[in-house]
Chain A
Amino acid sequence: MSTLVFLEHHGEELLKSSLGVLSKASSLGDDLAGVVLGANVRGLAEGAGKHGAAKVYVADDAQLEAPLPQPRVDVLAQLVQSESIDTVLFANSVLAADVAAGLAARLDAGLNWDLVDLAQEDGKLVGKRPALQDTVYVDVGWTSEPRLALFRSGSFDPVETGGSAEVEDLQVSLEDFSTGARMVDQAHEESSGPSIEDADVIVAGGRGLGGPENFTLVEELAKALGGAVGATRAVVDAGWYPYSTQVGQTGKTVAPKLYIACGISGAIQHKVGMQSSGVIVAINKDPNAPIFEFADLGVVGDVHEVVPKLTDLVKARKS
């Protein structure tokens, strides 16, 4: 199995999710390479070596500076074909999804997306993906090579193996249509914290908070954890918090790594909006609240006591 992992970067760093996929791939086989594309990115190759890649291809070119997908498809297509790579792995992101799909069309190659795991079973490569709001897991595969896979962001933790990689520079030659789209202004860091859709951590408040003024408890904890604030339908209906933060059947569906539910009973209308969260912590003074049936850690207690203490402890720990 000859595997290539697309390593995305932002600023001066390789994304953790890409490195996670690289670590996973290194546990599956030996012939593993990473590829970094951009402008002035040679320095990032080191990170790839530390996480298990024997080789890193670097495409360093001004035309690749902007995080746009199509030039990357051109480079990867040539690489895959010239090196007879049979498996290409991506960690999902807006950019990676467009690159993976463009590459699939270019090479007429199968792409399985939203995978959370990958394994060799009976001589076949099998991807695992959740479906139907994570209530069923599907084993998927490929009927031909190369095989392309897009993993849910954060599926794997990066593991440093302390190796170093051989670096190979790639020639960049692009199709005309690939340079049609032009970046005029690249994203600046958001100053107001992550949006609820992208946040790794969400702290949400429900009726158990008692009143709109108590949402400050939720906001403080979210800020301390670097996360976003969520709300239930009941409190949005009551006007305590804006609809844009509503999580649930008639609001947003989120799947952060950590969801802390404060004073939320856990009715199914709310549950379906957050049940795929990595870890769920619930704080509620009603020991029979339905949320305790699916929370990983349930705390029967008063949010007005527990949350401020938690915020202080988190702040202390981070500093």
Chain B
Amino acid sequence: MKPADYPPPFDAREFVAAPADPEDERIDVGVLIVGAGPAGLACAIRLGQLLENAPEVRERLGEVPVAVLEKGKQPGSHLLSGAVVNPRALRRLFKGRKRVDEMPFYGPVEHESVYFLTSKRALRIPTPPTMKNDGNYVASLSQLGRWLAEQAEEGGAMILPETSAVKLLAADGRVRGVRTGDKGRGRDGEQLGNFEPGADVVARVTVLAEGTQGHLTGVALNRFGLAGENPQVWALGVKEVWKVARPLDRVIHTMGWPLRAASKYREFGGSFIYPMGKDMVTLGMVVGLDYRDGELSVHDLLQELKTHPLVRKLLDGGERVAWGAKTIPEGGLLSLPRQLHAPGLLICGDGAGLVNVPALKGIHYAIESGSLAAEAAFAALQRGQTPSTPGALAVYDEALRQSFVWKDLKEVRNMRQAFGRGFWLGGALAGAMTATKGHFPPGDTRTERDSEQELLRTDRAQSYPASDGKLTFDKLSSVFASGNKTRDDQPNHIVIRRDVPPELARMWERMCPAQVYEATAEGVDITPSNCVQCGAITAKGGRLTPPEGGSGPEYTLT
């Protein structure tokens, strides 16, 4: 049985509409960016720079030349990553304006170690070349996002938090903008006393920078036939931030335990442990969602990881201060849409799938793509141009293909897929790919959808540690630590089949880091207010849509 046997009752076409609000109620902006993450904010910042020197263009964009919609409480609330950031794209974006030492980083990477773990031991292995981090910086993406938002606002962008984008506005073959979500609906969709309908926001150019599992990105790919040949695949990352008694002096990555190497399990991933200054550490477990064991729980694997002597020692005397979860697109170059633009539309960042899996990097690609999108939009807004003409925004795709983003992704294009053949064979293949810069083995390996993996069942859950509230934690207290205080009577935003066999319901129960799903006699029960919008469900047989703006986690340190 596989999750794909029970597809969710989701139709992307329901989320495309022509603008419906009367003209005087519509909101008009120049360039509309959906998502205040690194891609969206880089786009807003670059546009601000370009418009600074082009007052006539800015004039023509109206009262609000650049608007950024963010579904979280504020920029950063829904941002989560490791992270070790390659500052290349930030340097280009802020050239002549800000130095790297003015950016909110936790310091350069000074040392690094990679370990292969068994349940008791940690074997140091040489750092694979794709993972070398010289010249990179440790960051909290949530904090970086907040800082980028300030820069964007200083550059003239208007950021609108607590605002979700639920429908793509399109008419006559071109994208006109988005419709924002309603607020104040009850559990059954009924209008409550303080009901506030969403609004049509129309723009000359719409930039989708929604991050992983972007809702409108999926809708747009469907609507404009932009999907590539290979389906996208994802990994789920669950992480914590800890105050620690002793500083960590290096960036650590681990492979092996608690994941199983045999190819039948398809458990690809590992952990990261990064220092955040002298008194904090962040650690996380990342596992490909093509795993097959219905008992696998990435959250619990993270708890298990912490009991390893290497990790326990680092955290001893410390205290957990944050928790969060988010998916990462892992298909690489081969899973990218065949085109990242359409009339009036540009797609950037993780939403597009711009992540280098072996290097665990995507933030600098997000920033670079946002920057390039700004440049393409700006060019198309010059006098005499119309961004909605077919091809007007093609320069974006061209620029992306000429950039370091594409070059990097091409080199590592088959690596993730190789690991579908198991850890050892995958590792050998990955080594060959690195040595030959992607030329060997030749060709392009197909990806398979995560939801197409046949489920199998083991006793994996037996080794998950019981939560002790000091080192290990249960899911509910972790949801609390994410700052999630979503109101309980919101409509359900998760689209799944409810009448599913117990095997599938139990798989969802384990999969979800936020305890949203519960297997029952009739199928599955949902507690949508627990949801931290990681997106795992979309990879494994359901579909996440944006809930009411402002709900979900309130990350600050992730």
Contacts and interface: CB of A to CB of B under 8 A. Distances in A.
**Are A and B in direct contact (Cβ within 8 Å)?**
yes
Given A237-B527, A250-B529, A267 B488 contact: no
Interface string A212-251: 0000000000000000000001101100000100100111
A268 interface: yes
B428 interface: no
B489 A249 contact: no
Interface in A227-284: 233-234, 236-237, 243, 246, 249-251, 267-269, 272
Contacts of B477: 267-268
Give chain A's interface secondary structure class.
helix
A234 B526 CA distance: 11
A249 B487 CA distance: 9
A252 to B, nearest CB: 12
Contacts of B489: 243
A269 B487 contact: no
B476 A269 contact: yes
A267 B476 contact: yes
Contact of B488 (A243, A268, A272): A243
Q: For the side of the interface on A, what is the size category?
A: 10 to 19
Nearest to B476: A267
A11 to B, nearest CB: 37
B434 to A, nearest CB: 45
Contact of B487 (A250, A267, A268, A288): A250
Interface string A26-49: 000000000000000000000000
A250 B480 contact: no
Nearest to B187: A237
B485 A249 contact: yes
Nearest to A234: B527
Nearest to A248: B488
Contacts of B263: none
B488 A250 contact: yes
B453 interface: no
Interface in B513-534: 527, 529
A250 B476 contact: no
A268 B481 CA distance: 10
A97 B445 CA distance: 72
Nearest to A251: B488
Contact of A250 (B466, B474, B486): B486
A293 B477 CA distance: 14
Contacts of B485: 249-250
Given A233-B488, A243-B489, A269 B527 contact: no
A243 B529 CA distance: 15
A154 B477 CA distance: 31
B486 A268 contact: no
B366 to A, nearest CB: 33
A293 B529 CA distance: 25
Contacts of A237: 488, 527
B527 A268 contact: no
B188 to A, nearest CB: 11
Contacts of B488: 233, 236-237, 243, 246, 250-251
A9 B466 CA distance: 52
A268 B485 CA distance: 12
Contacts of A267: 474, 476-477
Interface in B447-480: 466, 469, 474, 476-477, 479-480
A88 B466 CA distance: 52
Nearest to B525: A238
A237 B469 CA distance: 26
Given A250-B529, A268-B477, A269-B480, 11 more contacts: A234-B527, A236-B488, A243-B488, A243-B489, A246-B488, A249-B480, A250-B486, A250-B487, A267-B474, A288-B466, A290-B469
7 contacts: A237-B527, A243-B488, A249-B485, A251-B488, A267-B476, A267-B477, A268-B476
**Top 6 closest A-B pairs, CB basis?**
A267-B476, A268-B477, A268-B480, A250-B488, A249-B485, A233-B488
